[in-house]
Amino acid sequence: MAGAKPARHPVTPDGRYFVVRGRLWRMADPTLPDERRQDLVKELMRARRAVATARRNEDGEAEAAAHAAVDAAKRALGERGPVWWRDGAPDLNRHMARNTPYAGWYAGLAE
């Protein structure tokens, strides 16, 4: 992905997931134009800040709206909802890497 920062977490060889504490998390759709991706990331960060503010203010209604905005941004990025790949592979988002077809790859990271 042009202009992307280097990964802080391991990324699966197919670029579909990154791994945090052994769990797979879906990557953003790499076909998104950079400008669109950057705008969506800004929306996501704004929504996450709104969640924190609503929690501090104990405003359940505002928190629910902020969570909905987080979800909408993540769906637009391709991190949630229908998968962005077209080969029929299942969505393994939030699965433990050791329990997926990526188990061998993941085990090899420790070597």
What is the value of pTM for the model shown? 0.85
For residue 59, give both structure tokens.
Answer: 């405003």
| Tens digits of residue pLDDT in 38-76 | 999 999 999 999 999 999 999 999 999 999 999 999 999
User: With 50 as the cut, is the pLDDT of residue 3 above it?
Assistant: no
Domain span holding position 95: 9-30+91-111
Long-range contacts, stretch 75-79, CB < 8 angstroms, 24+ apart? 76/40, 76/43, 77/28, 77/29, 77/32, 77/37, 77/40, 77/41, 77/44, 78/26, 78/27, 78/28, 78/29, 78/32, 79/25, 79/26, 79/27, 79/28
Reported in sequence order, the residue ranges of the chain that DSSP labels E, i.e. its strands, are 17-20, 23-26
Q: Is residue 70 part of a domain?
A: yes
| Tens digits of residue pLDDT in 69-108 | 999 999 999 999 999 999 999 999 999 999 999 999 999 9
- 69 and 37 assigned to the same domain: yes
- 73 and 100 assigned to the same domain: no
| Residue 2, pLDDT score | 44
Q: Is residue 84 part of a domain?
A: no
